[in-house]
Amino acid sequence: MNLAQALKMAWKSIRQNKMRSFLTMLGIIIGVAAVISLVSVGQGATAKVTEQVQGLGTNLITINIMGRGATTSLSYEESMSYAATPGVQAVSPVINGRVTAKNGTANESVSIEGITPEYESVRNFHVQDGRFLLPLDIDYLQKVALIGVTTAQNLFGTENPVGKKVMLNGQSYQIVGLLEQKGSTLGGSNDDKILIPITSAERLLRNKGVQSIYIQTTSADNVALVKSELEAQLDKKFRGLTTAYSVFDQEDMLSTMTSISSTMTMALAGIAGISLLVGGIGIMNIMLVSVSERTREIGIRKAIGARKRDILTQFLIESVVLAGLGGVLGIGIGVGGGSLISRFTGMTVSTSWSVVTVAFTFSLCIGVIFGLLPANKAAKLRPIDALRTD
């Protein structure tokens, strides 16, 4: 008996018992659909995070200064000296703080960043209207500001803020540029902030130390080298107090983020995999019932010349076809469910072929594994015993 014949027989027997076959498959359908939609959501999250981190540039090193003792002890001028380190293309020190921003009666507390013109290229953050900060603004402590879209909306409504004045902690700043929309990253919203010259920020915030330094290297290849060189310099500066600073590159951030989200994906896949397993047990159960129901049929088949192997193949293929069919339906529902989730929740969902293939292969394997016991039971029946039963 060849495979095509066996498939035909299996298909016939599945079609004869449509309701039962469907209910049997349901376990696999739900399992596969769950695996695919959950893994898609997980992978979508991973992809989103990766994209965000990579959007910041792969040749970026971030230094955070926590400081030694009560005072932060890395000034703007000192931080700019890192530009001399070999392999460094640009240095962008940042001083953060919160101020109250006012325009007429509209006021709100916003986060403020004191920056240098390098910020634009290092952070890849541009203005959509007006101009970016210039070296001149830094040198002459100009009271000019760039405004994020969300802040602009809150303070100015639909008006174009460029050229307007804004009061920051009572000091008047002129808005020279409206930043492009960036959306949120893990650090919070990029659109709800105001950027001013770092020298002005030192005065406004009464703070001489920078909190973060973004360093762009000449290429992604020498990130590790530059990083260790910077660490050595910082170590010297803070006299070996490693808690005073932290240096990490995008690679570190990426691996942290992806390990979190891939752990999440694995957990989701594990839960969904268990439901697949339960589906497999359902198939085994029904196949066992089917074997005892069809004992006479097995007897007849054996009497007219079916070998053990023929009966084994027949029942095994039946369970594999059941599982495979459930798998295909599950894939359809899973992929559809994934796109529904992304439509209604706005989550990024990415369905990869590898998940679909793995889920389908897994369901076929379940068909084989859980089909073996019933098929073997059928194949082992002795024809005279089988013919005697009604």
Partner 1 sequence: MSEPQRLIEIKGLRRWYTMGGEVVNALQDVSFRIDYGEFVAIIGPSGSGKSTLMNMLGCLDVPNEGSYFLDGQEVGRLSENRLAKIRNEKIGFIFQGFNLLPRLTALENVELPLIYRGVPGKQRREMARSSLEKVGLGERMNHRPAELSGGQQQRVAIARALAGNPPVLLADEPTGALDSKTGKEIMDMMKLLNSQGHTIILITHDLDIAKQAKRVIRIQDGRIIEDRGNEP
Angle (nearest 5°) at CA 336 between 333 and 342? 135
Contact 245, 72 (CB under 8 A): no
295 near partner 1, rule: CB under 8 A: no
**Count of other CB atoms within 10 angstroms of residue 335:** 18
Closer CB to partner 1, residue 84 or residue 304? Answer: 304
12 near partner 1, rule: CB under 8 A: yes
Secondary structure class of 373 (helix, strand, coil): helix
Distance CA 29, CA 360 (A): 10
7 near partner 1, rule: CB under 8 A: no
Closer CB to partner 1, residue 12 or residue 98? Answer: 12
Residues touching partner 1, count (CB under 8 A)? 23
384 near partner 1, rule: CB under 8 A: yes
Please, what is the minimum distance in Å from the beta carbon of residue 307 to partner 1?
Answer: 4
Choose, by CB under 8 A, the member of 296, 336, 340, 389 that binds partner 1. 296
Closer CB to partner 1, residue 39 or residue 311? Answer: 311
Compute CA distances 22 → 14, 25, 126, whole Å. 9, 5, 57
Please, what is the minimum distance in Å from the beta carbon of residue 378 to partner 1?
Answer: 14
Cα–chain center distance at 71? 38
Closer CB to partner 1, residue 98 or residue 380? Answer: 380
98 near partner 1, rule: CB under 8 A: no
Closer CB to partner 1, residue 221 or residue 293? Answer: 293
Q: What is the DSSP letter of 140?
A: T
Closer CB to partner 1, residue 168 or residue 375? Answer: 375
Closest CA relative to residue 199, chosen from 71, 79, 62: 79
**Contacts within 8 Å (CB) and 24+ apart, 130-136:** 130/162, 130/163, 130/175, 130/176, 130/177, 130/178, 131/176, 131/177, 132/177, 133/176, 133/177, 133/195, 133/196, 133/197
> Would you give the binding string for partner 1 spanning residues 301-330, x where CB under 8 A is met?
xxxxxxxxxx--------------------
Handedness of CA 259, 265, 268, 271 (dihedral sign): negative
389 near partner 1, rule: CB under 8 A: no
Compute CA distances 220 → 122, 152, 246, 306, whole Å. 13, 35, 20, 67
Distance CA 229, CA 82 (A): 10
The one segment of 107-115, 155-163, 234-242, 299-307 that binds partner 1 by CB under 8 A: 299-307
The one segment of 8-16, 19-27, 58-66, 242-250 that binds partner 1 by CB under 8 A: 8-16
Name the residue with tokens 């049997």. 24
Please, what is the minimum distance in Å from the beta carbon of residue 305 to partner 1?
Answer: 2
11 near partner 1, rule: CB under 8 A: no
Choose, by CB under 8 A, the member of 13, 190, 211, 250 that binds partner 1. 13
Please, what is the minimum distance in Å from the beta carbon of residue 294 to partner 1?
Answer: 9
The one segment of 9-17, 164-172, 181-189, 337-345 that binds partner 1 by CB under 8 A: 9-17
Alpha helices (H) in the chain, listed in sequence order? 3-16, 18-55, 76-80, 118-122, 135-139, 149-156, 198-204, 223-237, 250-293, 295-303, 308-345, 353-380, 383-388
292 near partner 1, rule: CB under 8 A: no
Closer CB to partner 1, residue 247 or residue 317? Answer: 317
Please, what is the minimum distance in Å from the beta carbon of residue 2 to partner 1?
Answer: 7
Please, what is the minimum distance in Å from the beta carbon of residue 384 to partner 1?
Answer: 5
Q: Can you give the binding site for partner 1, defined by CB under 8 A?
A: 1-2, 5, 12-13, 16, 296-297, 299-310, 383-384, 387
